[in-house]
Structure 1
Amino acid sequence: MKWTIYLLSLVCFVSCTEIKTKKNSQVTPVSYIKDTPTLDGRPIENYWNLLEWQPIDQNWIGGPFDHNDYNGKYKMAWNEDGLYLLLEIVDDTILDQTEDPLKLWWNDDCVIVYVDEDNSGGQHRFNHNAFTYHVALDGNVVDLGVNEKPTLYNDHIISKHQTEGNTTYWEMHIKIYPSLYNDEPNIKPVILTADKRIGFAVAYADNDNSEERENLIGSVFVPGENKNAGWIDANVFGTLQLVK
């Protein structure tokens, strides 16, 4: 009788503590490219024309905005060395008011790239179960490190942008690091393969001329009241499906 009670208790414990993984929500197929883009903010390579635009239109922070003030979309591709991201951002005012890249980096106009290498979801505020890369206009890339301090990850994302009128084109190469990454230089990026699924979202922080950002507009729908949950919770990311 005691063993029966013990086994029932063990089954209950295992079922109650079962690890839950993130669902493959808002799945976006990403096509393979053999040739690496020239990162210059000028999307002149032919394969960019073959890929579909995806919208960046979910208002996570701030009030309503006019599409003359902001409009954004992106395209993606991949090869073994990482993801390649093209953005077209229409913004009538581009602001870079904080010179120190490790201070108030979220309040300047910037692109935010959310990456969860194994699409597992979960919390990532002070660990690298997932990343929230803030890509600044000067090319600096900031996220919180495992030491709980803002840290530069300029070797994780290489970016270039060009602005013509109110339209800015960004091109980025995003290296994908595993969740065991702990800010040590000996951990290498993952070699990508077909059928891999990666948690992902991209957002644009828009500040026309204020002390704080006025809007944060993202690429995925986030349920609930806290639309800006992605910086600590990878469960709200979408899912990239690498196809070849």
Structure 2
Amino acid sequence: MVDPGHGGDDGGAKGTKGLKEKAAALEIGRAVAAKLQAAGFEPLFTREDDTFIPLWDRAKAANAQGADLFISLHLNAARAKAARGSEVYFLSLGQGDDDEVAATENAGAGAAPGAEDSVVASILDDLAQKAFLQDSERLAVAIQGQLNRLAGIKERGVKQAPFVVLRGAAMPAVLVEVAFISNPKEEEKLKDAAFRAKVADAITLGVRRYFAQANGGVRRRMVGGPSLGRP
């Protein structure tokens, strides 16, 4: 499941030259889906146009489709314009490595639907992701390594944070901050289809390496449909 972040009234972060995170994330999502399909995967989308999808509904859609992986795509922002490169996160159920980034991406999510009525539902959401935390970390490491090469950065490091969009995903799930939209040079790169294709290649190679290391052990099968997974 490819999840382009933000959308609709939620524009996300904005670059100094006007690029909106929601638009860049969608274009990157399309490029990632095309590369994944070429590699033999069956990509699905949480959104394919400028539509707002509530954060809590995104993992729910991945669960309903029986997706093997959940990859949420975003653009980072920092006060220091020199900040560059990619960061890949997996879920923290407590305090994370960068709660400021998580707070920005979680803005407007509100409480989980029905949370006030069902403590059990909340516990089940936590258990769903706990079962896949190690696989999520392996996926994050595999993708981060490829994106570091693309950016020419030795290591930014995989991190954990309490992202709402990853909660309740019953599969390995990561959030990719592809680049810093606050960095004018990276903002320009994000407008370039060739650069977005390189990002998509890096993410796809990370996914392929993850499945090769997992030996297919985390594959799930759609109810009444074909299996998603590695070629």
Fold equivalence (TM over 0.5): no
Identify the structure with bigger relative contact order (alpha carbons < 8 Å, sequence gap 6+): 2
The two structures have a TM-score, normalised by structure 1, of: 0.26
Larger radius of gyration: 1
Q: Which has the higher helix share?
A: 2
